[in-house]
Amino acid sequence: MSSKKLGFWLLTALVTGNMVGSAIFMLPQSLSNIGSPAGVLLAWLFTGLGVLMLAHVYGQLSDFKPELIGGPPSYTRELFGQNKLGQIMGFEISWGYWTSNSPGNAAILITLVGYLTYFLPVLQSKTVLFTLGLFNIQVGNFLSFIIASLVLWFVHYLMFKGTYAASKINFFATITKILGFIFFIIIALSIFDITYLHPFIAEKTLKSGETLGLFQQMNQGAILTLWAFIGVESAVWLSGRAKRQQDVKWATLTGLLIALAIYLLITFLAMGALPAKELMVADKPLVDVLTKIIGPKGSFIMATLGVLSMLGATVGWILLSVEVPYQSARLNLFPHWFVKENKNGAPYRAAWITNGLTQLFLLSMISDTIANAFNEMIVIATLANLVPYLFSGIYSLKVVLKGENYGKIKIGKRFLDGTMALGASLYSLWVLKTGLSDLKTLALGMLLIVSGLVLVPLLPKHEMLKE
C-alpha cells in the first residue's frame, strides 16, 4: 500500500462530501409535502439519532477492535466466526455494497449533468440524432451520456494518482461545497419569516386525501431523510488507509454532525423563506429562495453549487467504491485479483472494473425505457448499502456483551456502548423493513446479494496480506 495515510480532515471530508449530495436540493420540498414543521423536525431528529448510534458503533469498534481494518466486512466475519461461513458472509457484505455503488455512482453523474443543463440548454434537446435498433437516440440524451462518461473517466484518471491524492481533491471539493451552503444559509436568513412555520404542530392532509398525525409525519419524513445519510460509513471502509483508528472514529462523528447541521438549517430556512403552498409545489426550492432575494442570479448560483456538490460527491463515491474490493481482498474477503496496485499505490484493477460497471449503467441516459429500469435498480442497490449497518450493530452488541477489551473500563461506558449498539441494530432493522416492504424489491435485492456466491470459489485461502 501507499505510504501516505489519510488523516482526520481528509476522512471527515470524505464522510461529509459523500452524505451531502443531491438530496438536500429537493428535501425541503419533499418534506413540506408530508409534514408540518414539527413533523419534519422530528423526522430529522429521529433519523439523526439513528445514524448517530451507527456512527457511535463504528467509533466504538475503532476503539476496541483497531485491528479490524476495512470496516463492515471485517465486523461481519468476526460476527459469524473465523471460518468459511464468516469469510463468505464478509464477502457478501463487500459484494452487495460494491455492486450497489456502481448504479449509485451513475445516478450521481446523471444528476451532475442535470445541473449542467442550466449552462448547456442543448442537453435538453429532444431532436432525434439517430436510431439504434428500437431506440431513438436524442441529441440531449447522447450529449449528456458523453459528458457523464468523460467526467467518470477523468475521475478514474485521478484515482491512478493514488488514494491520498484523490482524497485531497475530494477535500477541496467538499470545502467549496460547504462554503456554498453557508452562503445560502446566510442569504436565506435575511428573509426568514417565522410566521411561515405556523402552525408549528398540525395534521397534514396529502393529495390522496389521507391525513397524517404528528407521529405518521415523522415516520414518513424519516423514510425520506434516511437516504440523505448514506455515506456515514465512508471512513470506516477506508480504515486501512487511515493514519490512526481514532481518526476514523472522530471523522465519522464530525462528518455526520456537519451534514446534519447543513440539512437542518437548509430545510428550515427554506420553510421559513417561502410560504408552505409555494414550497410544496417548488421544482427547485433552493433556487426559488435565492431568486426571491437576489433575482435571476439565484438560478445561476444554485446551478453552480449543484455542479460543485455533485462533482465532489462523484470523486468521493468513486474513491470509496474502488477501495471496497481492494480493501476486502487484502482481508481475504474478496478475490485476490483485486489487490494489484500501481506505483502510486492505487488499486488499478479494482478501478477499471468498478468504473467499467458504472459506465454500463450510464447507458440508461440513452433511452427513457432503459432509464425506467435503471431507477428501479437504484432502489434495490441502495438497500444493499444498508445491510452492513445491521451486521455492524449486531457485532458491536456482541463485543459489549462479551466485554471484549473492556478490562477495567467503567460499567457506565459499557452500558452506553451496549445501548447505542442495540439502538443502531433496531434502527437498521427498521430501515430495511421500510425499504423492503415491497416483495419485488425484497426478491431482487436478495438476488443481487446472492449473485456474488458465484465468486466464492475464487476467495483466497491464505492469511490477510501484510503491508
Domains and CATH numbers, the chain: 8-458 (1.20.1740.10)
**DSSP labels for 286-332?**
HHHHHHHHHTTHHHHHHHHHHHHHHHHHHHHHHHHHHHHHHHHHHTT
DSSP-assigned letters across all residues of 3-40: SPPB-HHHHHHHHHHHHSSSHHHHHHHHHHTT--HHHH
Read off φ and ψ for residue 294, nearest 5 degrees. Answer: -120, 10
Q: What is the pLDDT of residue 442?
A: 66
359 has pLDDT over 70: yes
Phi-psi region of 70 (alpha: psi -120 to 50; beta: other; left: phi over 0): left
Predicted confidence (pLDDT) at residue 13 exceeds the cutoff of 50:
yes
How many CA atoms does the CB half-sphere of 372 hold within 13 Å? 2
Say what the pLDDT of residue 385 is: 73
Task: Please report the pLDDT score of residue 3 as a whole number.
Answer: 58
What does the block give as the cell for 94?
Answer: 463487500
Q: Which residue has the cell 427554506?
A: 270
C-alpha pair distances (Å), 6 with each of 61, 72, 101, 233: 19, 19, 22, 15
pLDDT digit string, tens, across residues 232-250 = 999 999 998 999 989 999 9
Question: Which helix (H) or strand (E) element contains residue 130?
Answer: strand 128-132
pLDDT confidence of residue 467: 44
Report which of residues 138 and 135 the model is more confident about.
138
Q: Say if residue 72's pLDDT is above 70.
A: yes
Q: What's the whole-number average pLDDT of the chain?
A: 86
C-alpha cell at position 14: 470524505
Q: pTM, whole model, 2 decimals?
A: 0.89
Instruction: Check whether 208 has a pLDDT greater than 80.
Output: no
In this predicted model, which residue has the larger pLDDT, 116 or 21? 116
What grid cell was written down for 401? 456483551
Range among 209-223, 256-270, 286-300 rated most confident? 256-270
Residues 6 or more apart whose CB falls under 8 angstroms from that of 227 comprise 23, 382
Which range has the worst mean pLDDT, 71-80, 248-257, 453-462? 453-462
Locate 454 and state its grid cell. Answer: 458465484
Q: Higher confidence at residue 114 or residue 132?
A: 114
Distance CA 170, CA 57 (A): 25
Tell me how far apart the alpha carbons of residues 158 and 171 are, in angstroms, rounded to a whole number: 14
Distance CA 319, CA 331 (A): 19
Pair 328, 352: CB distance under 8 Å: no
The count of residues in the chain is 467
First to last CA, the chain: 6
Q: How confident is the model at residue 95, as a pLDDT?
A: 92
Which pLDDT score is estimated for 379?
Answer: 63
pLDDT at 333: 94
CA angle 433, 14, 354 (to 5 degrees): 75
Please report the pLDDT score of residue 404 as a whole number.
79
pLDDT of residue 2 exceeding 60, the answer is no
Asked if the model's pLDDT at residue 172 lies above 60, the reply is: yes
Cell of 345: 499505490
Q: Which three cell numbers mark 390?
A: 445491521
Asked if 384 and 100 touch (Cβ cutoff 8 Å), the reply is yes
Percent of the chain scored above 90 by pLDDT?
39
SS3 content of the chain, % helix, strand, coil (to 5): 75, 5, 20
- Strand 135-138, strand 128-132: pairing: antiparallel
CA distances to 108, 146, 245, 318, 448 from 153, in Å: 14, 11, 31, 10, 26
3-state secondary structure of 460: coil
Cis peptide before 199 (omega within 30 of 0): yes
Instruction: Fill in the amino acid letter for 440.
Output: K
Residue 27 to residue 47: CA distance in whole angstroms: 14
36 band by pLDDT with thresholds 50, 70 and 90: confident
pLDDT higher for 434 or 188? Answer: 188
Does residue 319 have a pLDDT over 50? yes
- What pLDDT was estimated at residue 150? 96
Predicted local distance difference test score (pLDDT) of residue 466: 43
pLDDT at 196 over 60: yes
Residue 375 in this model has a pLDDT that exceeds 70: no
CB 427 within 8 Å of CB 53: yes
| Average pLDDT for 377-382 | 62
Mean pLDDT on 42-68: 92
CA–CA–CA angle 449, 399, 463 (5° rounding): 60
Model confidence at 465, pLDDT cuts 50, 70, 90, reads very low
